[in-house]
Amino acid sequence: MNSLDIIIINYNSTLPLLHCVESLLNAAGAISLTIHVHDNASSKGDDVDRLTRDFPEVLLTKNHRNLGFAKAVNNALKQGSAPYVLILNPDTLVQPGLLSDTMGYMEEHPDVGILGPMIFDVDGAIQGSARAFPNPLTALFGRKSILSKIFPNNPITRENILTARSDGVTPMEVDWVSGACMLVRREAVNHVGPLDDKFFMYWEDADWCRRMWRKGWKVVYFPRSSVMHYVGVSSETNIFRSVFEFHKSIYRLFDKHANVPYSLLKPLVFWGVTYRFLFVFASQLGRKCFRQPKKHAPWKSVLEPRKENDLRIRVLRFIARLNIGGPSIHVHLLTTGLDSRKFYSTLVTGKISPREGDMGYLFASSKEKPIIIDELQREISPALDMKAFLQIFRVLQRENPDIVHTHTAKAGTNARLAAMIYNRFANGNTHTVHTFHGHVFAGYFSRTKSLMFIWIERFLARSTDVIVAISRSQKEDLSKKFRIAPAAKIKVIPLGFNLDPFLKRSPKKGQFKKSLVSCHDALLVGIVGRLVPIKNHFLFLDMARIFLDETPHINVKFVLVGDGELQDTLKVHAEKNGLMQHVHFCGWRRDLPDVYADLDILALTSENEGTPVSIIEAMAAGAPVISTDAGGVQDLLGPKNEAFVQKGFVVCERGILCRKNDAYGFARGLRYLVEMDKSQKDGMVNNAKEFVDKTFSEKRLLHDMESLYLKMMKHNPGKKKHAGPGRTCVSARLIKRNMDF
């Protein structure tokens, strides 16, 4: 009885886990403990490696994915050999005497296979950890069901919870005990078998105990020893998965053990469990959103608010993902470039899709790294979107921001809804700003879906303090064409960038072209952007085929810089049209100043755009531009020259504008640009360079955004109802000092 294996399965619960291990070591006495911790792919922010730094004697296994509770326990069982195994949740604290008393009882009663101690909550209430095996009515009167809350003393629940029969001292045989803390005899495990790993989480303990009884082993509730259990630390981080797996396991348990006549009720039980899942999930979601964090936790909450060690205006910025493109560059500049004496800025972002280029490297040298929410992704998924919403709400509670500024549609929807609820039900007083970098109202989805998104944006706009459009034409679309919000609520703030690397002549000029073509005189026509449907690279390739057929005397190469979901399809299309000798797929590149320096012409064939960054960068680098008339492109290319209106295209002050989805017109516009008089082309290029240098500087963007934030705070200087003393007046002084807008 001198050795004991401890198995703890961790998932995003490292902080309570540290306290749990400490309580184990304090309670060990003369018992030799081997502590096996299997981590089920906790997030990086959870930092499970703290465990081995603080307790090097612990054996930590980090699973590459979440294996579920049962499978992780089974893997850990294979690593030990002690005669007894204590399976323990990470959010428990072992009380003195637990190990010696429970092992002593097991030694005296060799027919006991599993023993469960008394488990009590942090407020001292005894949990119903000893129970009778469930029956079909148990699902209706479970501890989380509405019927049990309305009728807490109903006979079904009383019969199911066997801890109520205990005198608090005498051990008693029960059907099953909670897996939050159970001492298991290894001999019994070898006889009965390990946990059924088809139970991802929940009810695997009830199944194991039933199998123990069937093989002749007893299950005992032992109230003389106890642990404290802080329920739900890991499950609360993933409420949808938690509730779903709970009900999935309920049905599996019934399906596995029900005999006639109960087995005839399987269809009824299936639909009953399904409806119960929907109800419990909705109620759990509401309770999670609106309740205050427990204040009697025995350890500091992992969501402890950031200390208010300064009096700056806090800006919490959201973007769906840091993929290659203008929005990522934009939010990086705003997050890192705002005046640090006045603003404290934090970025929250999501997960990059497998085929997208990642611009997370922009923050490599930043002191404050973005907060990553894996569930915040590009794809529309009700389950993931709900998880992302809950994570965002928790971030709002922790950061307590003055301003929430959202970028892109997915992040804008989730974060603004969360801010709306946070302000209404959690005593928040956060201002909201949303920037439209483009929109999804045309070109992305069917007419029905597009209309649905328009109505969603109209609803969200009502609770948004300021909507930012990045061009005047975009403001016109938002206010008049789609009627998202009144014009008075929409402020035009153009994008801003560090254009110096593009404006200055690249020291590596010529290297990119040399890597693609042997002839220095070859014409290089490039398109830079994600290989996704909205960018319409098929038009670019079709135009290339037409241009080559109509101008065989011009040595031209067409370059696609970027990657995405359509790469393989586009390559097939190019090969089918005999373009592979003339087209180069270059993938993602970070050396864009060198790329633009060697492009003779920048093309853009999109069906929808906000303000395309590729055009701005090309203009700064001195590359002529030809583009479809999409979104804010017209604002970039300038006024049309009515004297140069041709079939399919028109000459503008700073580039060539073509009709959308017109490959022949685009090819004619490209030919016109190639054959344009040199002085006219140079004038167009110089106008474009001066325009972007003046309009899209980072200094101008930061000034405009800081002015907007300060103006918003001026109109409501009281800010938070619960703001600390002095914070309001300091913010007011900052506003007064910067009233230069």
Q: Which CATH superfamily is domain 3-234 in?
A: Spore Coat Polysaccharide Biosynthesis Protein SpsA; Chain A (3.90.550.10)
Whether the per-residue pLDDT at 159 is higher than 70: the answer is no
Q: Which amino acid is at 577?
A: N
User: Are 612 and 604 a contacting pair, CB within 8 Å?
Assistant: yes
Closest CA relative to residue 698, chosen from 237, 428, 333? 333
Q: Which residues are paired to 94 by β-bridges?
A: 227
pLDDT tens-place string over residues 236-293: 455 666 667 776 766 676 667 766 565 656 666 666 666 666 666 666 666 555 544 4
Q: Which residues are paired to 431 by β-bridges?
A: 403
Extract the tokens encoding 384.
């993931």
Q: pTM, whole model, 2 decimals?
A: 0.52
Q: Say how far apart CA 489 and CA 361 lie, in whole Å.
A: 34
Q: Which residues are paired to 183 by β-bridges?
A: 86, 115
User: Are 735 and 714 a contacting pair, CB within 8 Å?
Assistant: yes
User: Are 202 and 246 a contacting pair, CB within 8 Å?
Assistant: yes
* Average pLDDT, integer, range 608-617: 88
Whether the per-residue pLDDT at 375 is higher than 70: the answer is yes
pLDDT tens-place string over residues 631-682: 889 889 999 987 777 788 999 999 999 999 999 999 999 999 999 999 999 9
**Which of residues 540 and 204 earns the better pLDDT score?**
540
Q: Which residues are paired to 706 by β-bridges?
A: none
pLDDT tens-place string over residues 399-445: 889 999 999 888 999 999 999 988 887 667 899 999 998 776 765 66
Going by the DSSP 8-state scheme, the letter that residue 604 receives in this structure is E
- Mean pLDDT across the chain, nearest whole number? 83
Extract the tokens encoding 592.
């864009």
Closest CA relative to residue 409, chosen from 368, 443, 441, 382? 441
Q: How far is CA 333 from the centre of its chain?
A: 21
Q: Say how far apart CA 119 and CA 181 lie, in whole Å.
A: 8
DSSP three-state, residue 481 = helix
Any idea which of 102-106, 231-235, 577-581 has the lowest mean pLDDT? 231-235
Topology agreement, domain 313-492 and domain 500-695: yes
What's the burial of 190, exposed, middle or buried (CB within 10 Å: 0-12/13-18/19+)? exposed
pLDDT tens-place string over residues 449-476: 778 888 889 999 999 999 999 888 889 9
**Which of residues 738 and 711 earns the better pLDDT score?**
711
Q: Say how far apart CA 444 and CA 1 lie, in whole Å.
A: 67
Extract the tokens encoding 205.
């303990």
* Domain layout of the chain by residue ranges: 3-234, 313-492, 500-695
The radius of gyration computed from the CA coordinates of the chain, to the nearest angstrom, equals 32
User: Are 737 and 339 a contacting pair, CB within 8 Å?
Assistant: no
**CATH number, domain 500-695:** 3.40.50.2000
Span 313-492 CATH architecture:
3-Layer(aba) Sandwich (3.40)
User: Are 183 and 84 a contacting pair, CB within 8 Å?
Assistant: yes
